[in-house]
């Protein structure tokens, strides 16, 4: 290779990595509290992704799936991935399945098996990184355009979805191949990719190849157009970086705080899956009902100060109060049963309840013996029924902090004694 050509390849690789790094930074695709695991097949896309991420983040693991469909090729892929893990000095997690390419629903079964593994990693605090790229999204959009009429369904493969991260959604297959060749990476080609038996392959071999040959700017226009459509429909990843706060409150549950929770549907689904006892995958309908309830609350907060529990699959419950949404699993609800009793006992045994007392964890309960706060609640707190009943029986005023005016919140900030898990010794 001539020196000039070598310099060109080197410059391209530097620019490629910096482009991906900037994309990751812009869209916050690495979370300081999440561990990284890369799904790697041994093909060029995932090998390139491991190389790129490994160049600026050494703290990650690999996942490899041996589907058992092509014994000799599968063995070579597994050996390649193991060798790559040794070179990168990272852990590799290998999972073996016993599937057959002759099954009618092979792709669906393989996807379901991988999804179970991904879900397990996500529940253990990982984000799973896959090597889907712009061409994959383009092909997905074409397929869905023939099957679906909703805009959302045809916007392409999401950049982030329930803990699955796709940092190569800023590069094309052609660019990935150029990077891999310039870096002299080793990979294996899955020969089943050339079979038109599978839907995606058939589309790629008979349609998209001709589109790219005839319209070389097709991918560029696709990305621009679909980014605009996603922004117009509030579905773009950037729309999710607005006003959301996510807090792990006292019980370990997830507390979402936002004026418009509908922007964060994927994040909410991620929390539900994390706490669910069920392996059930799709919960769209349940989450849509939850978000509709939030819209009703925000439209008429006086009539609907909060709702809950809203029971979801897998033993998960949701509680809504104005801009606050709490997602709890069974163990978190057990925490609140204990918390409720201890809070009642704590208050009842005090000779004098402080002038203003409040909880900063989700209960958000403000106790006001001297009725200095303008608002007093008529409602029982769904997680603190014993405490609320005791307060009502003793004529003690209480309310919930999300319902208070700015003036009352300032008063609480100055005078409140915080009644949370640290006070109660939980």
The neighbour count for residue 309, using CB atoms within 10 Å, is 15
What's 261-308 look like in SS3? HHHHHHHHHHHHHHHCCCCCCCCHHHHHHHHHHHHHHHHCCCCCCEEE
Which of 329, 333, 335 is CA-nearest to residue 316?
Answer: 329
Q: Give the relative orientation of helices 3-26 and 173-182 as an angle to the nearest 10 degrees.
A: 130
Q: Give the span between the Cα atoms of 182 and 177, in whole angstroms.
A: 8
DSSP secondary structure of 58-123:
--EEEEEEE-SSSHHHHHHHHHHHHHHHHHHT-EEEEEE----TTSTTHHHHHHHHHHHHHHHHHH
Q: Give the span between the Cα atoms of 156 and 138, in whole angstroms.
A: 7
Q: Give the span between the Cα atoms of 332 and 252, in whole angstroms.
A: 6
Please identify which residue in the block is written with the tokens 């109660």. Answer: 424
Residues 6+ apart with CB under 8 A from 14: none
Q: Give the relative orientation of helices 134-147 and 173-182 as an angle to the nearest 10 degrees.
A: 160
Q: Which residues is 368 bridged to in the sheet?
A: 397
Binding site, annotated residues: 41-46
How far is C-alpha 148 from the chain's CA centre?
Answer: 24
Question: Contact 367/356 with Cβ under 8 angstroms?
Answer: yes
Residue 319 phi, psi dihedral angles, 5° rounding: -130, 125
Whether residue 309 has a cis bond before it, omega within 30° of 0: yes
SS3 label, residue 219: helix
Binding site, annotated residues for ATP: 41-46
């Amino acid at each position: 290779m001539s020196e000039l050509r070598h310099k060109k390849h080197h410059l391209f690789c530097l620019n490629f990595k910096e482009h991906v790094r900037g994309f990751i930074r812009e869209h916050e695709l690495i979370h300081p509290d999440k561990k990284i695991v890369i799904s790697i097949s041994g093909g060029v896309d995932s090998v390139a992704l491991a190389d790129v991420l490994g160049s600026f983040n050494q703290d990650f693991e690999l996942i490899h799936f041996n589907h058992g469909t092509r014994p000799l090729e599968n063995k070579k892929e597994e050996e390649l991935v193991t060798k790559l893990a040794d070179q990168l000095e990272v852990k590799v997690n290998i999972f073996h399945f016993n599937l057959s390419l002759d099954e009618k629903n092979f792709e669906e079964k393989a996807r379901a098996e991988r999804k179970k593994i991904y879900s397990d990693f996500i529940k253990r605090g990982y984000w799973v990184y896959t090597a889907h790229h712009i061409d994959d999204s383009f092909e997905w959009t074409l397929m869905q355009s023939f099957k679906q009429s909703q805009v959302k369904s045809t916007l392409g493969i999401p950049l982030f979805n329930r803990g699955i991260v796709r940092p190569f959604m800023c590069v094309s297959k052609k660019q990935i191949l150029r990077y891999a060749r310039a870096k002299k990476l080793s990979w294996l080609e899955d020969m089943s990719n050339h079979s038109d038996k599978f839907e995606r392959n058939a589309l790629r071999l008979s349609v998209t190849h001709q589109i790219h040959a005839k319209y070389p700017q097709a991918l560029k226009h696709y990305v621009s157009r679909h980014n605009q459509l996603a922004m117009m429909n509030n579905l773009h990843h950037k729309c999710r970086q607005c006003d959301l706060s996510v807090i792990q409150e006292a019980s370990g549950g997830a507390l979402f705080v936002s004026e418009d929770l509908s922007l964060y549907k994927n994040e909410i689904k991620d929390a539900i899956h994390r706490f669910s006892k069920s392996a059930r995958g799709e919960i769209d309908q349940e989450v849509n009902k939850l978000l509709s309830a939030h819209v009703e609350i925000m439209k008429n907060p006086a009539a609907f100060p909060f709702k809950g529990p809203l029971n979801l699959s897998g033993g998960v419950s949701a509680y809504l109060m104005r801009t606050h949404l709490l997602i709890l699993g069974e163990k978190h609800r057990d925490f609140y049963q204990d918390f409720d009793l201890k809070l009642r006992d704590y208050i009842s045994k005090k000779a004098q309840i402080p002038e203003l007392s409040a909880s900063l964890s989700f209960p958000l309960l403000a106790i006001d013996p001297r009725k200095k706060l303008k608002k007093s609640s008529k409602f029982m707190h769904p997680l603190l029924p014993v405490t609320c009943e005791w307060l009502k029986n003793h004529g003690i005023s209480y309310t919930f902090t999300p319902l208070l005016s700015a003036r009352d919140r300032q008063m609480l900030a100055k005078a409140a004694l915080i009644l949370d898990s640290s006070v109660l010794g939980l």
